[in-house]
A and B are shown apart, each in its own frame.
Chain A
């Protein structure tokens, strides 16, 4: 194990009544940067995160956070957490609420209030500090919760599906905050099933499905492991003919078809030029033909597979 690892998960298994949520999972999150925990619904992301925070204990294996084993709660002052299930006390004033969350992390009362005020200002919510939480819009409540996870200046922030349910503007605000946070040398671990977010933000990722790790590494490593030559395509007509060309398994191993555009992974040994010739011959009105790095989306689908992308069981909430 690297000494610099902030989080080390070593062959961890967690079983629930009917099924195994996490199976012999090993992960390592190095210090600094943004780590993406990717997987379809029900893959075991939330269960893994809860074990990191010692909210639940693993049945087998070891979890080490900030160099200590099974001590998530004693370390909670150094960890920030945004759960998937958002929740605040609806009748509490926003400022009191944030200050309380800070105090629960061990920040002193006056310091907690000061920090809460600063964060409200930063997120443009200064005028709402004395309002009740229930008076805020959903997006504002999300921001407040976000501030709650970050205000005590933790070394490690764990965000479970942080961008779900946010409009593009607020989503951007939060992403900027996360990126800036990671840039200051701290570590961000977030889970998502939206690959575009992960692709834009993450330095490292791990993909898990059905409780097991499918792939992990730096973004470049994962893409290299994706192996195949990927080509991004755009058509202006005759999509049906294009489909027939792409169905040729000696040429194309994998298709992520989006109708007027597609990303394909070439079959082993196939040459991009052969594909180009075939497409030109099919007269599809080619508007784009570019050999690209595989997108995370296509890697995800290749690794997890359509079948596994379906949830195994209800995600253990």
Chain B
């Protein structure tokens, strides 16, 4: 037991001491924060007033109202106006005027007053709702959305007015539908919206995927390293392969838990500090600043995630250790491990279809295949708590899988760590398993 502790301590201390661990542990959340925050922050930034030309060929006062609404918008509070509007009446020479204005858009040599875009108002456009905007800034998601939001009520009102609607009707017609989703689990309202629930499942999926792969591969690296350094022979003269393997797996697992813990902690902290400014909300078009609700992470979910991380890690590290022991160099091992890595990747991708149908037959089947169980159960649980018997059965399948993998893996490991030279064929591997 003390010997296993020594192996665990060595594995843990040497790993935590490396520069790559420090960088990985503290730089990853920082980079993650920057990647998440920067686009949001940058796309929020508006620097200068933009000039927009409005080419008016429509009857009535709609152009004037658009002019005044756009001109009154400001960048932030009490700062420069967002738009400078140049109204150009078409006077029946639509095409000619349009072409000459387009000629000015996006020209570098033009001074700051040159228009960035041209809005074309025609009666048919107002009736059909298809209003044209030609500009150099049409790729700006935020600019277009703002324009859209600003114009929509004005054009709608114009249509109503042309049909002589009274103001009460105009107000009634302007109310939009806003579908309010709330997740119900086990007959109780959880207070989560559908989006946060999806987000949570997605985060859990990525978390399991990254952690299984990352630390499984580390176990493999550690096995190969001892082989390439030829330390392994001294070690197996003092320790049984089982002690060595178990110590290694626990040591790497502990390092993994520490790192994941630090990541989760800083991740939660960053998410809280940034609040609604994350990239996800910008992508979702949530400009209302209503903010980003932290998904409801229950202690049960945390326990399920941790438990299945551990089970999955034991399962996959057994596989990776066996593969590492067959190989002579890190490169060789990486190649040999591709099938296993592919399985994890496939599992991670399959989860996306599973999120749409968390209780479908695919989900039911995958739950009980040990390769996928550690991904499926936490993801399904994140969407809706699973019945206890399914969790227990899943864990049982996992434990059976681990015993199988460890039984075969330890036998391959025992022979493999002392074999140098050519990688064994499948037939040789089978002989290792049988004779060891």
* A interface residues, Cβ below 8 angstroms from B: 17, 50, 53, 55-56, 72-73, 76, 79, 81-83, 85-92, 96, 100-101, 103-106, 108-109, 145, 148-149, 317
Determine whether the beta carbon of B238 is less than 8 Å from that of A105.
Answer: yes
Determine whether the beta carbon of A81 is less than 8 Å from that of B237.
Answer: yes
| CA distance in complex: A56, B13 (Å) | 30
| CA distance in complex: A76, B235 (Å) | 10
| CA distance in complex: A73, B237 (Å) | 6
| CA distance in complex: A3, B232 (Å) | 33
Residues facing A in B1-33 (CB within 8 A) are 2-3, 6-7, 10, 13-14, 18
Determine whether the beta carbon of A72 is less than 8 Å from that of B2.
Answer: no
Residue B236 interfacial (CB < 8 Å): yes
For B238, give its contact among A76, A86, A109, A145 (CB under 8 Å): A76
| CA distance in complex: A109, B237 (Å) | 19
Determine whether the beta carbon of A100 is less than 8 Å from that of B240.
Answer: no
Q: Within the complex, what minimum Cβ distance (angstroms) separates A16 from chain B?
A: 10
A73 CB contacts on chain B under 8 angstroms: 237-240
| CA distance in complex: A82, B231 (Å) | 11
Determine whether the beta carbon of A104 is less than 8 Å from that of B14.
Answer: no
B234 CB contacts on chain A under 8 angstroms: 81-83, 87, 101, 104, 145, 148-149
Residue B300 interfacial (CB < 8 Å): no
Q: Within the complex, what minimum Cβ distance (angstroms) separates A63 from chain B?
A: 14
Determine whether the beta carbon of B3 is less than 8 Å from that of A106.
Answer: yes
Known contacts A100-B6, A104-B3, A106-B2; decide if A89 and B229 are in contact (CB<8 Å).
Answer: yes
| CA distance in complex: A92, B10 (Å) | 9
Residue B272 interfacial (CB < 8 Å): no
Known contacts A92-B14, A100-B6, A103-B3; decide if A87 and B230 are in contact (CB<8 Å).
Answer: yes
A50 CB contacts on chain B under 8 angstroms: 418
Q: How many residues of B contact A (CB 8 A)?
A: 26
* B interface residues, Cβ below 8 angstroms from A: 2-3, 6-7, 10, 13-14, 18, 225-226, 229-240, 418, 420-421, 428
18 contacts between A and B (CB under 8 A): A17-B428, A73-B239, A76-B238, A76-B239, A83-B234, A85-B230, A85-B233, A86-B230, A89-B225, A89-B226, A90-B229, A92-B10, A96-B13, A96-B14, A104-B3, A145-B234, A148-B234, A317-B420
For A104, give its contact among B18, B233, B238 (CB under 8 Å): B238
Determine whether the beta carbon of A56 is less than 8 Å from that of B418.
Answer: yes
For A55, give its contact among B13, B229, B418, B428 (CB under 8 Å): B418
Determine whether the beta carbon of A87 is less than 8 Å from that of B239.
Answer: no
| CA distance in complex: A92, B7 (Å) | 13
B2, B6, B238, B420 — most chain A CB neighbours (10 Å): B238
Determine whether the beta carbon of B233 is less than 8 Å from that of A72.
Answer: no
In the A-B complex, list the 6 residue pairs whose CB atoms are closest, starting with the nearest: A87-B230, A103-B6, A104-B238, A83-B233, A85-B230, A87-B231
B233 CB contacts on chain A under 8 angstroms: 55, 83, 85, 87
Known contacts A88-B229, A90-B229; decide if A83 and B6 are in contact (CB<8 Å).
Answer: no
Known contacts A56-B418, A89-B14; decide if A104 and B239 are in contact (CB<8 Å).
Answer: yes
Known contacts A87-B231, A90-B229; decide if A55 and B236 are in contact (CB<8 Å).
Answer: yes
B225 CB contacts on chain A under 8 angstroms: 89
Q: Within the complex, what minimum Cβ distance (angstroms) separates B365 from chain A?
A: 41
For B231, give its contact among A55, A88, A106, A149 (CB under 8 Å): A88
The chain B residue sitting closest to A314, CB to CB, is B421
| CA distance in complex: A211, B286 (Å) | 78
Q: Within the complex, what minimum Cβ distance (angstroms) separates A22 from chain B?
A: 16
Known contacts A100-B6, A104-B6; decide if A83 and B420 are in contact (CB<8 Å).
Answer: no
A81 CB contacts on chain B under 8 angstroms: 234, 237-238
The chain A residue sitting closest to B227, CB to CB, is A87
B18 CB contacts on chain A under 8 angstroms: 91
Q: Within the complex, what minimum Cβ distance (angstroms) separates B13 from chain A?
A: 8
B7 CB contacts on chain A under 8 angstroms: 104
| CA distance in complex: A283, B235 (Å) | 61
| CA distance in complex: A103, B13 (Å) | 15
Told that A81-B237, A83-B233, A104-B239 touch, could you supply 12 new A-B pairs with CB distance under 8 A? Answer: A53-B237, A73-B240, A86-B230, A87-B232, A87-B233, A89-B14, A91-B14, A101-B238, A103-B6, A104-B6, A148-B234, A149-B234
| CA distance in complex: A55, B232 (Å) | 11
Q: Within the complex, what minimum Cβ distance (angstroms) separates B186 from chain A?
A: 50
Determine whether the beta carbon of B3 is less than 8 Å from that of A55.
Answer: no
The chain A residue sitting closest to B10, CB to CB, is A100
B428 CB contacts on chain A under 8 angstroms: 17
The chain B residue sitting closest to A108, CB to CB, is B2
Q: Within the complex, what minimum Cβ distance (angstroms) separates B436 from chain A?
A: 9
| CA distance in complex: A262, B184 (Å) | 98
| CA distance in complex: A53, B232 (Å) | 14
A90 CB contacts on chain B under 8 angstroms: 229
| CA distance in complex: A149, B427 (Å) | 37
B14, B229, B240, B421 — most chain A CB neighbours (10 Å): B229
The chain B residue sitting closest to A55, CB to CB, is B236
A56, A82, A103, A149 — most chain B CB neighbours (10 Å): A103
B240 CB contacts on chain A under 8 angstroms: 73
For A76, give its contact among B2, B231, B237 (CB under 8 Å): B237
| CA distance in complex: A91, B11 (Å) | 12
The chain A residue sitting closest to B5, CB to CB, is A103
B237, B239, B428 — most chain A CB neighbours (10 Å): B237
Q: Within the complex, what minimum Cβ distance (angstroms) separates A36 from chain B?
A: 20
A317 CB contacts on chain B under 8 angstroms: 420-421
A89 CB contacts on chain B under 8 angstroms: 14, 225-226, 229, 231
A96 CB contacts on chain B under 8 angstroms: 10, 13-14
Q: Within the complex, what minimum Cβ distance (angstroms) separates B178 from chain A?
A: 58
| CA distance in complex: A44, B230 (Å) | 19
| CA distance in complex: A105, B236 (Å) | 11
| CA distance in complex: A108, B9 (Å) | 13
A17 CB contacts on chain B under 8 angstroms: 428
Determine whether the beta carbon of B235 is less than 8 Å from that of A104.
Answer: yes
| CA distance in complex: A210, B239 (Å) | 30
Determine whether the beta carbon of A72 is less than 8 Å from that of B237.
Answer: yes
A108 CB contacts on chain B under 8 angstroms: 2
Known contacts A81-B234, A92-B14; decide if A87 and B2 are in contact (CB<8 Å).
Answer: no
A148 CB contacts on chain B under 8 angstroms: 234
| CA distance in complex: A81, B3 (Å) | 17
A87, A103, A104 — most chain B CB neighbours (10 Å): A104
B13 CB contacts on chain A under 8 angstroms: 96
Q: Within the complex, what minimum Cβ distance (angstroms) separates B145 from chain A?
A: 53
The chain A residue sitting closest to B14, CB to CB, is A92
B6 CB contacts on chain A under 8 angstroms: 100, 103-104, 109
| CA distance in complex: A53, B6 (Å) | 21
B14 CB contacts on chain A under 8 angstroms: 89, 91-92, 96
| CA distance in complex: A45, B282 (Å) | 70
The chain A residue sitting closest to B247, CB to CB, is A104
